[in-house]
Amino acid sequence: MGGGRSTTPRRRTRRALTFGLAALALVAVLLVAGAWVFQRHLIYQPDTRTPPPAAQVVPGASDVTLTTADGLTLAAWWVPPSGTARDQAVLVAPGNAGNREDRARFATLLAERGFAVLLLEYRGFGGNPGRPTEEGLALDARAAQAALAARGYPPERTLYFGESLGTGVVARLQADVPPAGVVLRSPFTSLADAASHQVPLLPVGVLLHDRFPVAELLEHSDVPVTVVYGTRDRVVPPSQSAAVARAARELVETVVIDGAGHNDAVMSGPPVVDAVVRLADRVR
């Protein structure tokens, strides 16, 4: 009798444990499946609204049209130099959110320092057609570079500026069409590394469709590079940006902005513009 009474609680415990493990496994499968299906909705967070005409936001700016190799027509902004012209251009590849209107202040600051500026707007952002992917954004950047060349700014007189996700875009572009120099603001070593920081419990390295291998691309590049990052970045760990700087084969400068977070105003303000100017002077 005593043996029978002790067996029942053990069986109940085993059943409860088995049920609990099965439930955890199901939750894990659902999380992984959800990450697989919806990952691009998590990575790309565009403001899809169409901004006002460029001239209403930045005096002297104009709307331009980019045509991609896969047939999309994209809107972008052209901002001519408002200060003494440097005969150099900056192609600005933005991060994963917002639209071109959010980068108007940065473009204005660059123009005041004598640069011509093309504010790239990706597919799916700012009223543009299409859906963003790594390959799609690469085509968008190539179209922007071609538009700059058509306006008299060939790659050797152009700097590529990438912000956050845009660092992955310009890292790819500089490998395909080398510019005079590259400025990377808040770069990650790879998208998988950045995603692992945000969701450490998921196997994102296996799940991700889009890779953006920034550090790997710079290891084999002869293009001069400046890296800029803030010490209080909670989106891209400063350690990853520092690792990108170490990986860059032709590192010119690392600019560390003490106390700055990922989206703080200073990260698109005068210290960053000054870094662009220094690199432009170096490669002129």
Closest CA to 43 of 53, 35, 54: 35
Would 22 be classed as within a structural domain?
A: no
> Is residue 200 included in any domain, yes or no?
yes
Predicted local confidence at residue 42, as pLDDT: 58
28 vs 90: which has the higher pLDDT:
90
Nearest by Cα to 268 from 59, 102, 143 = 102
Q: Is residue 208 part of a domain?
A: yes
pLDDT of residue 43: 74
Are 244 and 197 within 8 A, CB to CB? no
Contact 77, 59 (CB under 8 A): no
pTM: 0.84
Structure tokens at 68: 């991609």
Retrieve residue 241's tokens: 């940006």
Which candidate, 124, 7, 3, places its Cα nearest to that of 74?
Answer: 124
| Among candidate residues 179, 193, 187, the one with its CA nearest the CA of residue 244 | 187
Residue 82 lies in a domain: yes
Query: Quick check: 272 and 228 in contact, CB under 8 A?
Result: yes
pLDDT band per the 50, 70, 90 thresholds, residue 34: very low
Q: Provide DSSP, 176-213.
A: HS--SEEEEES--S-HHHHHHHH-TTS-HHHH-S----
More confident residue, 4 or 72: 72
Element (H, E) at 214: helix 214-219
Choose among 156, 65, 66, 78: nearest CA to 117.
78
Q: Are 182 and 170 in contact (CB under 8 A)?
A: yes
Which residues contact residue 156 at a Cβ distance below 8 angstroms, ignoring those fewer than 6 apart?
Answer: 179, 180
Domain range spanning residue 95? 44-283
Average pLDDT, integer, range 8-18 = 57
Q: Give the whole-angstrom CA distance, residue 46 versus residue 125.
A: 5
What's the whole-number mean pLDDT along residues 261-279?
97
Let me know if residue 7 belongs to a domain. no
Terminal CA-to-CA distance of the chain, rounded, Å?
93
Within-domain flag for 31: no
178-208 tens-digit pLDDT: 999 999 999 999 988 887 655 554 545 556 7
Contact 64, 92 (CB under 8 A): no
CATH number for the domain including 211?
3.40.50.1820
Task: Compute the C-alpha angle 176/50/74, nearest 5°.
Answer: 30
Tens digits of per-residue pLDDT, 99-153?
999 999 999 999 999 999 999 999 999 999 999 999 999 999 999 999 999 999 9
Distance, CA of 69 to CA of 143 (rounded, Å): 7
Residue 50 has pLDDT above 50, yes or no: yes
Q: Are residues 254 and 227 in contact, defined by beta-carbon separation less than 8 angstroms?
A: yes
- Predicted local distance difference test score (pLDDT) of residue 110: 98
Number of separate domains in the chain? 1
CA atoms within 13 A on the CB side of 267: 24
Distance CA 45, CA 99 (A): 10
**Rama region for 15: left / alpha / beta (φ>0; ψ in -120 to 50; rest):** alpha
Residue 159 gets the label, from left (phi > 0), alpha (psi -120 to 50) or beta, of: beta
Indicate whether 36 belongs to any domain.
no
pLDDT number for residue 196: 67
Neighbours of 114 (CB within 10 A): 16
Q: Is residue 89 in some structural domain?
A: yes
pLDDT in tens, 116-126: 999 999 999 99
